Each structure stands twice: as structure tokens, then as C-alpha cells.
Amino acid sequence: MPGLSVRRFAGIWTAELVSVIGSSLTAFVLSVWVYQESGSETQFALNMLCATLPGLLITPFAGVIVDRFDRRAVLLLADAGAAAVTLVLAVLAHTGHLQVWHVYPATVVAAVCGTFHLTVYQAMTPLLVPERHLGRANGLLQTTFALQIAAPVLAGTLMEAVGLRGVFLLDLLSFAVVACVVASTRLPRSILRPAEHAVPPSFGADLTFGFARLRAGGLLPLVAAFAAFNFVFAVAGVLIRPLILSFATPATLGLLVFAGGAGLFAGSLVMGAWGGPRRKVAGAGVFMLLGSVALAGHALRPSVLLIAVVAPAFLFTIPIVNACLTTVLQSRTEAAAQGRVLASARTVSQLAVPLAYLIAAPLAEHVMAPALLPGGALAGVLGGVLGTGEGRGIALVFLADGVLLLVAGAATLLLPRLRRLDTTAPPTGHPAPALNR
């Protein structure tokens, strides 16, 4: 029954929101605490690395496990692992024994648990929701990303009101809510274990299956488009704060980050209500083009009002692009392979993020910034458009980033191998027929 499946998805999605809010608050508060305790930008960056790199490395393994074992059990174990880490930190904080080094392994474990959490949700969503509503479901799931960006605003207030231990307690309560909802939601065995093999393939074969399936299904160009989009977004994400702080105060930065998060949240809600265009690949390409204009607009002048307009506009397009591309991947993957295929796609596309981090900041600081100082190599050519001085090198990177997104959007619209994904039928074995039982 489609209505029943949608209601089940709504219940699980609500629990996911509660979990993400709790975990995001804890992650942000811990990162602030590490910086306050250590006074070291390097230790702060190390904590950020612990929050991202382990998840990237574990993703292919998570995909195999999610396809091999009961997905509810995997989800509950992942939540239990993250809750156990939070409990240990809460006890250490309560007894006054919490140290900076404790945060690093805790962050690694939380990142691994979060990877399993996300992989289960991505694998179960196309089995819970009728295909015609899959774009809406993926749009709603993007709200969790918006809440992660908005978390610093609420976390700062909570840190003042209830302190570190209070935030830990709220996170533990969120895990309890999620466990109750997931454990009590009745789900068919076809969703929890869509395929069982009398003699399962070797673990190594399963690890490579997702990548082989992407190649055989003609989905690698789609993953490349995803990777290009992730790269562009990561470049903007790592440089937006230095850009704003080059002409505004930290208080203004906080307001502009909140405005950007509001744009991201609005895009998620619009995608959730709309479901996206019928041709999802073309829709992703169009919104990449629109986002490229807003992204390049960051470079035009050092203006708070300008950023307040273009940042939410750019972030508005992100959940729509992500949901469209994810929907295509899900709709062209059989039920039993959702975990492995989507995990493989996420691994490849997310590799662009650390690459962007490694390139963007040094490029802005050591190449573009000197070139746009008064008398610099590019001051005469671009100084009249972008200006010269502090922050204008970062602005030039934003301009280049916008051009790169323009190219990615045009390629997504024009490449025949991508266009065909909008016009050809999904492969046999797609889970859609089972959704309407």
C-alpha cells in the first residue's frame, strides 16, 4: 500500500531529523570546545578531518553490510554506537576528566556510525516511497544537511544556556527517540533484506560490485557530474568564511551563515513539495546553471548585502541538484544492490571534497591573493571588475568556481550519455513494482 509506505517513511524521516539535530549540535559544540581548550587551529582542523575522512573510507564497506544484513539492525547498531560515544564523553565531562585527545577517537567512531546511518536511509528510501514521490522524499532528506549548516546558531545559544553536558544530554535523548521510532515501525522483510543468497558472494566481490554496477549501468557520467558539483560546493564552503571576514565582522558572518542555511532549507522544502522536474538529469543541469550565476556573484564586490542575496540563492539550488541526481541513481538500481551502488557512487563523488580543500585555500592564498593586490599581476586586468586588496584573491577563486559550475551544468545538459538517462527506461529489477503492493 503506497500510503502506508509513505507514512512509514514520514515517521523514519522525522526520527532522522531529530537524530541529525542532536548529532550536529554535539559535533559543533565539541569542535568549539577543542579550539577553546587547545587554542590551536591545527587541532581544530584535525577534529574536522576526523569527522570527514573515516566516513569516506568506510562507505564502500557500509554499502556491503547494508545489503547483506537486516537494515533495521544495522541502523539501530549505528545509533547505539554513536550514543555510546556520546555517553562516554558526557561521563568524562561530568567528572571533569574530558581532554582534547578524547574527542578525536570519539569523532571517528561517530563519523563511522553516521556513514552507516546515511547508507541505510539511502538504501531504504526507494523501497518505502513510490517512484513518483522519490524526488520529494530525497528533497526532504536534504533538510538534514540544511540543519547541519544551521546548527552553529542553535549550538552557540545552547552552549551558553546548558553547557557542554547539557548538549550531550540532548543528543542522548535524540538517540532514544530514534531508537524507539525505528524499532516500532513495521517494515516488510523485502525492505529490510531485499535479497538473500543461499551462498553469498565473497566480501571482496561485494566491495567491487557497486563500482562495476555503476559502470555497467552507464551511471559513471552521472557520478562524475555529482563529483564536479561536490568539488564546486566544497571550494565555496572552505572559502566563504574568509571571504566574508575580509570585509565584515564575525557577528555579520554568523548572520550571513544563517541566511545561507535558510536558503538551503528553503530549497529542501521546495524539492520536498515539488518533487523536481520529470527529467531529473536535465533539472539538475538547469539548477547547476542557475547556481553558477549566484556563485560567481559572490566575487563582484565586498558587500554584505550582495552576499546576503547570492549565498542563499546558490545554496537554494544544492538540495534540488542533489535530490535529482540521487533519485536517478536510486531509480536505476535494483532493490538488493541499493546499499552497495549508492555507497560506491558516494565514495567516488565525495573524493572531490578533500581534493577541493587541498586546492582551494592554497590557490587563493598563494596565487590569487598576490595577483590581485595593488600592482599585482592581475590587478590591471581584473582589478576594475573585482577590485584589489584583501579578500579579492578569494573572490577570483569564487569567480572561477562559478565558471566551473557553469561548465558542469552545461555538460550535464548536453552530454548524450547523461541525456539518455532521462529518456530510457530503468533497468529490469528496479524496485518500483514492489512499492505499490
Q: Where are the domains of the chain?
A: 1-183, 212-424
Please answer whether residues 25 and 153 qualify as being in contact, where contact means their C-beta atoms are separated by less than 8 angstroms: no
List own/partner pairs for 384-387 with CB under 8 A and 24 or more apart: 385/300, 386/299, 386/300, 387/301, 387/302
Q: What is the pLDDT at residue 183?
A: 87
Rounded Cα distance between 353 and 48, Å, is 13
Topology of the domain comprising 212-424: Growth Hormone; Chain: A; (1.20.1250)
Q: Residue 244: CB partners within 8 Å, gap ≥ 6?
A: 252, 253, 256, 304, 307
Question: What pLDDT is recorded for position 434?
Answer: 36
**CA 40/CA 35 separation, integer angstroms:** 6
Which residues of 131-231 form beta strands (DSSP E)?
none
Cell of residue 432, nine digits: 518500483
CA-angle at 135, arms to 421 and 233, nearest 5°: 80
Q: Which residues contact 237 (CB under 8 A, 6 or more apart)?
A: none
Does 1-183 match 212-424 in CATH topology?
Answer: yes
pLDDT of residue 296: 97
In the DSSP assignment, the letter for residue 333 is S
Q: CA nearest 167: which of 156, 183, 182? A: 156
In one-letter notation, the amino acid at residue 159 is M
Closest CA to 345 of 328, 368, 362, 321: 328
Residue 210 to residue 347: CA distance in whole angstroms: 10
Cα-Cα-Cα-Cα dihedral of 333, 336, 337, 338, to 10°?
A: 70
Percentages (nearest 5) of helix, strand, coil residues in the chain: 85, 0, 15
| Residue 396: how many other CB atoms lie within 10 Å | 22
CA 331/CA 217 separation, integer angstroms: 12
Residue 323 is predicted with a pLDDT of 95
Query: Quick one: pLDDT at residue 436?
Result: 32
For residues 112 and 106, what is the distance between their CA atoms, to the nearest angstrom? Answer: 10
Residues of the chain with pLDDT under 70: 1-6, 35, 40-42, 44-45, 147-157, 159, 195-200, 425-437
State the Cα–Cα distance between residues 357 and 238, nearest whole angstrom: 7
Q: What is the pLDDT of residue 370?
A: 92
pLDDT recorded at residue 430: 43
Does domain 1-183 bear CATH number 1.20.1250.20? yes
